[in-house]
Amino acid sequence: MALTVPVITIDGPAASGKGTIAERVARELGFHYLDSGALYRLTAVAALRAKADFNDPAALEAVALGLAPEFRDSRVWLAGEDVSAAIRTEEAGVAASRVAAVPGVRKALFDLQRNAARAPGLVADGRDMGTVVFPEAPLKVFMTASAAVRAERRALQLEARGEKADREALRRDLEERDRRDRERATAPLVAAADARELDTSEMPIDEVVKKVLEWWRLAS
Ligand code: CDP
């Protein structure tokens, strides 16, 4: 599968800052941005709404196949309901990591993700962007940060939205998700062999964006 447009992949564990960096890099380059995690979060929320059995892979696959999100006015809607806030809760993140372990769900979402590679280019963030969805990408970044830093970043995000954040509980949830994402048989969370790894624990956002853009200049 040859790529017809340039793609940068940014993978890594939960709350490592991938989304913020991917969006900023996309803006700098005038590229499109794919938040692949949002598709797993949407599948999870749709499955919860449909009261699907989370232990039944076929039921979860059916939800993913029937997924018809509408993106309007920077918000996302499912069956007429604005679920923009619902998909961003930690509960939805944990549920997303459960549906994401189902091979049929990943297969159902594959084409949606590949189709996001449009001119002039794409920055895609997730867990398997560099290993499975865009293995031919010329620049792959694997972004990490310590569990404490990641829990703090997620807490600040929640607090910025006016929500309360329990840092200890967040850290437990993130670590549970990471474990499930790393240990699953299909498309586990792992750096691609040719990915550039970046520990952002001590790095401010601007510096990370600069680093990725520098790598891009060298790769493109
Ligand atoms: O933003 P955060 O890092 O907390 O999570 P996310 O990127 O929105 O992803 C939520 C969950 O979806 C992850 O824990 C993964 O289980 C799953 N996911 C995946 O399996 N593959 C992707 N490409 C993206 C997300």
Q: What is the distance in A from the centroid of ligand 1 to the CA of 120? A: 25
Residue with CA at minimum distance from ligand 1 atom 13 = 97
Q: What is the mean pLDDT of residues 184-199?
A: 96
Q: What is the distance in A from the centroid of ligand 1 to the CA of 77? A: 19
Tens digit of each residue's pLDDT (9 = 90 or more) over 97-153: 999 999 999 999 999 999 999 999 999 999 999 999 999 999 999 999 999 999 999
> CA-CA distance, 60 to 43, in Å (whole number)?
8
The predicted pLDDT at position 22 comes to 97
Secondary structure (3-state) at 141: strand
Ligand 1, pocket-test mutation among 97, 125, 134, 183, most atoms within 8 A of CB:
97
Asked whether 184 and 46 are in contact (CB, 8 A), the reply is no
Q: Which residues pair with 10 in a beta bridge?
A: 125, 141
The predicted pLDDT at position 137 comes to 97
Residues with CB under 6 A from ligand 1: 14-15, 19, 36-37, 40-41, 93, 96-97, 100, 126-129, 177, 181
The predicted pLDDT at position 220 comes to 84
Question: What average pLDDT does the chain have?
Answer: 95
Q: What is the mean pLDDT of residues 20-27?
A: 97
Using the predicted structure, report yes or no on whether residue 1 has a pLDDT greater than 80: no
- Helix then strand then coil, in percent of the chain rounded to 5, is 50, 15, 35
Tens digit of each residue's pLDDT (9 = 90 or more) over 154-173: 999 999 989 899 999 999 99
> CA-CA distance, 52 to 167, in Å (whole number)?
30
Q: What is the dihedral of CA 76, 84, 114, 119, to 10 degrees?
A: 70
Which among 112, 119, 155 is positioned nearest to 6, based on CA atoms? 119
> CA-CA distance, 37 to 44, in Å (whole number)?
11
Q: How confident is the model at residue 53 (pLDDT cuts 50, 70, 90)?
A: very high
Secondary structure (3-state) at 12: coil
Using the predicted structure, report yes or no on whether residue 74 has a pLDDT greater than 90: no
Q: What is the mean pLDDT of residues 42-62?
A: 97
Give the global pTM: 0.94
- Residues 6 or more apart in contact with residue 180 via CB below 8 angstroms: 97, 98, 101
Burial of residue 54 (CB within 10 Å: 0-12, 13-18, 19+) is middle
The predicted pLDDT at position 36 comes to 97
